[in-house]
Amino acid sequence: MYLDSDRRPTLTPQLAVRVAIIGGIALVAFAVVFFRLWYLQVLSSDKYRAEANNNRTREIKVQAPRGEIVDREGRKLVDNSIGLAVKVSPDRLPESRAERRELYTRLSRVLGGDPMRMERSIERQLKALPFSSATAKQGVPLDVVSFLLERQEDFPGVTVEQEFLRRYPYHETGAHLFGTVGEVTREQLEDERYRGVDMGDRVGQSGIEYQYDRFLRGENGATRVQVDAMGNLTETLDRDRPKQGSQLRLSIDLDVQRAGQQALAGGTGRGAFVVMDVNNGEVRALGSHPSFDPNLFTKVIRKSDYERLSDPDLGAPLSNRAIQGAYPTGSTFKLITATAALEGGLITPDTFLFDGGSLTVGGVTFKNAGDAAYGTLALRQALTVSSDVFFYRLGLEANGAGDGLVLQTWAKRLGMGRKTGIDLPGELAGLIPTPRWRNALYRKKQTDRPWSAGDNINLSVGQGDLQANPLQLAVAYAAIANGGKVLSPRIGQRIEDAGGRALQELKAPAAPRLPIDGAYRQAIMEGLRGAASAPGGTSTDVFAGFPIPIAGKTGTAEKGLGRADQSWYVALAPYPSPKYVVAVTDEAGGFGAETAAPMARTILAELFGVTGDEGSEGGGVSD
Amino acid sequence: MQANSPVQGFHEPRTRILRIDPLLLLASIALAACGVYLVGTATQDDIPGSEYYYVYRQAAYAGVGLVLMLLLSRFDYSRVREWKAGLYTLMIGAILLVYVVGVSARGSKRAIELGFLNFQSSELGKLLLILALGAFVLDRMRRLDETETTSRLMLLALVPAMLVIAQPDLGSGLVYIAIALAILFVAGTKWTHFAALGVLGAAAVALVLVVAPAVGVEVLKPYQVDRLTAFLHPTDNPREQGYQINQSLTAVGSGGKTGRGDEATQTRLDFLPEHHTDFIFSVLGEEFGFVGAALVLSLFALLIWRSLRILTMSKNLYGALIAGGITAMLMFQIFVNVGMTIGIMPITGVPLPLLSYGGSSVLVTFMALGLLQSIHAQAREVAAAKGLNRDL
């Protein structure tokens, strides 16, 4: 039976072929495996090495504190407080949705707030940054934190982290300068300006915080950790420490700022002021009333708070009237009319015009305030007593001379109707009324009549359609005082390290110099000086007994419709070589000398260190 | 060996030991040593507190396997031919026993708990099939050209193969089929029969993967089909079926030319699934890179080369058939397993001989190597007895 078993079979050629085939298959298979390994391990190893590292490492963000903001003396205006934030870390969160929802409900019972909103917010954050923990609530008091930490098993995945919260120690003082911080928006994340900012970071959203955000925000740190396949942290690989943002020094003087805001608060409730160095445009103080507390924005602001701060009926405290106001300026505009008339060749400083108390043009009679009549007078006297008729005549003449735009041209040159270029966001350009502007409106049936000489007459005394803000007026007055430089006001002075050493000076763009005849400027300055010191000057009474010589102009802007007049005052001091310009307005303060000028006196007293200045009750009846 | 040795009987005990193939022995021991080392590095963090759990076991299996191999090498395999019916029955019985008393692991019953190891009868079945089928083939050598012979023999292999596939253990079932084809091939079955088997095989695959699901019959469980086809498109579903392949490719690829050594994070941090069993080759690739993988592959190549050489020198056809079956078993497992870890073969859960952790696999592989050594020793003995000094 077993024929084959007892003798060794010779290796038949057939078997040899078949063994060779098996050997060949093995050879081919080994070759394929070798080439594949070569491809994977030699040609593509970098890619797979990167993938392996990517597999095992996770980055945990460490928030950088924002840089502090100091005033010109180095006093801290804005800094950071360390708050406790309750966070939810994704790796220890319950898997099931129902359990998570239960956790959010329990958590919101402890922290306050709506569980549904908490759930939405946390799930959104976790989706955006899957391995960083999501914030449930910021600025949680210590006793609540202790409560949570003592009951860890009831709150799986809930952790407490330190975080930096922006702090504004002076609350409403300087609020409009500093602005607010808020979570970076989706649009901002796509913007080049916000490179390096991560979702959920808080960045400047208004004011200086916004303007100088790239210096203030610093660089977030990161802790790189190694995780295993289950997502458990196995070791910490390295840390990039967060870098605090640079310190920003402002040209602001805290004392002047505070004095200005206190002065405004004593008015009718809505107003603004600016104090600026006339030679270099450094803003010493700038404020708007009503103000707000920017600390409200350091955590997530409540909707009701935001609505209250934006409500026009409550004075829209968030708006910065010093740069966003759109007001007629009243007689403070006469400085511009005077400059235009002199430079436009309509008058010389000694040209006498007759003020009979009123001027009738095209059937409309334009009268002096308080029915005064000053008789024959030249520019200096006209500024001092604030003769309207004198300037009506200039307005009328300007309307007919040349292109009829000499007032508008000089207003524009002196900074009206355009942004001053201050380093604050949200500035408004305002409006200089022109024939072209009004006629276009008339064609579109948005106004009842085309341009007439009366419009130019109104403009000459800062009434009518003119829209300007205190900062623009300050720039125009500074140009007359400094020899023609139209400055871009500056608030940011320099970027510093934490020790106050300068890292970078913040330079304003070079100011264009207007060719204004020195004699003309002199005449205007003398007129303004008279207004604050000569008998019959509109603010002489206000500055009686004030030790610093002031040159200044009152303004009373008519708002019509039965609304109270807006009070203005712009001061240059000290006369005759002014260093500062102070522009103040109170939206319903009546005559300039009544409300705005006394406010200016308070500010000037602080500015020049006049101690024990009791100020004065405004008393002028006319401007 | 010494044909003109004056007193032959005197040399017997010494020469018998020397008659085993030293290169095959070297390759076996080296591979087993690599296996113990790799299982050790792969599992050192798996069970907290008992870092050496798997290494000790793997080392013990290798030691026992080595002894089994040496014992088998001294035994004349030819006598086994008479036990063919018993071996076949034992094989079927052992496989069926799993269905009765088997322990479940991840949805499949593959092993019987024996205390010191979970005995996988399908592993032992491979060897039993080789021995039994070889004997059955010999019985029908004169009618080898008949279609009936091929059909009957294939049926003998398909019965256990199907029982194993149904456990479900597709990989081992395919090993049975590979073994049967190799034995028929070595025996000299006509090419036309292989062509017909090829057509039938292709039709069966098409039926299982395409037609059966289309008409609602589930031959393979859906996860099996997914696993089988995932290597064709690993990035489709990186979290599910593609996950294992991607992690394995990342491990092997990141090993680079010389490996990552202690930095082998894919293994250490558990990203690599089944790292001590099915994906042990990926551990090797990550830790020792191309150099290490090439070295181990060379050892496998040595193993295959020696097996084929033993096939050609067998003293009888039975030995050649057994060697052919064992070679096919080793080759199939090596290429399917390695191919799976480098993304050119489907995931079928075939262990890598001598390297993958597992008592049944290690012991059965060593027994197969023992049979090869036995064939080698017998051939040498016959050659010596015939006075032929063939020192091949």
Window B:229-288, CB contacts with A under 8 Å: 247, 249-257, 265-266, 269-271, 285-286
Distances (CA, A) of A205 to A384, B98, B327: 44, 71, 75
- A14, A45, A51 ranked by CB distance to B256: nearest: A45
User: Looking at beta carbons, which residues of chain B come within 8 Å of A33?
Assistant: 297, 335, 338-339, 342, 344
Window A:51-90, CB contacts with B under 8 Å: 51-53, 55-56
- A26, A40, A230 ranked by CB distance to B304: nearest: A26
Place of tokens 């039994």: B132
Window A:1-30, CB contacts with B under 8 Å: 2, 4-9, 11, 14-16, 18-19, 21-23, 25-26, 29-30
Distances (CA, A) of A308 to A288, A316, B62: 16, 8, 81
Does B147 lie at the interface with A, CB-CB under 8 angstroms?
Answer: no
- Best of B76, B250, B268 to mutate (most A CBs within 10 Å, chain A): B250
Ranges of chain A whose pLDDT falls below 70: 1-10, 129-132, 230-232, 614-623
User: Looking at beta carbons, which residues of chain B come within 8 Å of A11?
Assistant: 312-313
A59–chain B nearest CA distance, Å: 17
Q: Could you tell me the sign of the dihedral formed by the alpha carbons of B146, B152, B156, B161, in that order?
A: positive
Which residue of chain B has the CA closest to A235? B269
Structure confidence at residue A235 (pLDDT): 76
What are the helix (H) ranges across A417-469? Answer: 435-443, 453-460
Among B343, B273, B300, B354, which Cα is nearest to A37's?
B343
- B182, B253, B308 ranked by CB distance to A48: nearest: B253
Structure confidence at residue A97 (pLDDT): 81
Say if the Cβ atoms of B314 and A228 lie within 8 Å.
Answer: no
- B257, B297, B316 ranked by CB distance to A41: nearest: B257
Which residue of chain B has the CA closest to A5? B316
Say if the Cβ atoms of B317 and A9 lie within 8 Å.
Answer: yes
Provide the CA B298 distance to its chain's centre, in angstroms: 17
Place of tokens 């032992």: B124
Which residue of chain A has the CA closest to B337? A33
Say if the Cβ atoms of A15 and B186 lie within 8 Å.
Answer: yes
Cα–Cα distance for residue pair B56/A19, rounded to 1 Å: 39
From first to last of the 392 residues of chain B, give the pLDDT tens digit.
444 444 444 444 445 556 899 999 999 999 999 999 999 998 888 887 788 889 999 999 999 999 999 999 999 999 999 999 999 999 999 999 988 887 776 666 778 877 777 888 999 999 999 999 999 999 999 999 999 999 999 999 999 999 998 888 889 999 999 999 999 999 999 999 999 999 999 998 888 888 877 777 777 777 777 777 777 766 655 555 678 888 899 999 999 999 988 788 888 888 888 888 889 999 999 999 999 999 999 999 999 999 999 999 999 999 999 999 999 999 999 999 999 999 999 888 899 999 999 899 999 999 999 999 999 999 988 888 876 554 44
Cα–Cα distance for residue pair B219/B173, rounded to 1 Å: 14
- Best of A7, A22, A53, A232 to mutate (most B CBs within 10 Å, chain B): A22
User: Looking at beta carbons, which residues of chain B come within 8 Å of A24?
Assistant: none
User: Looking at beta carbons, which residues of chain A come within 8 Å of B352?
Assistant: none
DSSP calls for B332-349? HHHHHHHHHHTTSS----
Structure confidence at residue A1 (pLDDT): 38
Say if the Cβ atoms of B252 and A52 lie within 8 Å.
Answer: no
A284 three-state secondary structure: strand
- Best of B189, B317, B321 to mutate (most A CBs within 10 Å, chain A): B317
Distances (CA, A) of B97 to A461, A580, A595, B123, B155: 111, 104, 106, 14, 21
- Best of A18, A28, A40, A237 to mutate (most B CBs within 10 Å, chain B): A40
Q: Phi/psi zone of residue A183: left (φ > 0), alpha (ψ -120 to 50 degrees), beta?
A: beta
Please report the number of interchain residue pairs, chain A to chain B, with beta-carbon separation below 8 angstroms: 144
Say if the Cβ atoms of B253 and A49 lie within 8 Å.
Answer: yes
CB B304 within 8 Å of CB B28? no
Does B312 lie at the interface with A, CB-CB under 8 angstroms?
Answer: yes
B367–chain A nearest CA distance, Å: 22
User: Looking at beta carbons, which residues of chain A come within 8 Å of B294?
Assistant: 34, 37
The beta strand positions in A32-191, using DSSP E, are 57-62, 69-70, 76-88, 134-137, 158-167, 181-183
What are the helix (H) ranges across A203-268? Answer: 207-211, 213-216, 254-265
| Token code pair at residue B112 | 């019987």
Task: Specify the amino acid at residue A6.
Answer: D
Task: Specify the amino acid at residue B259.
Answer: G
Structure confidence at residue A76 (pLDDT): 94
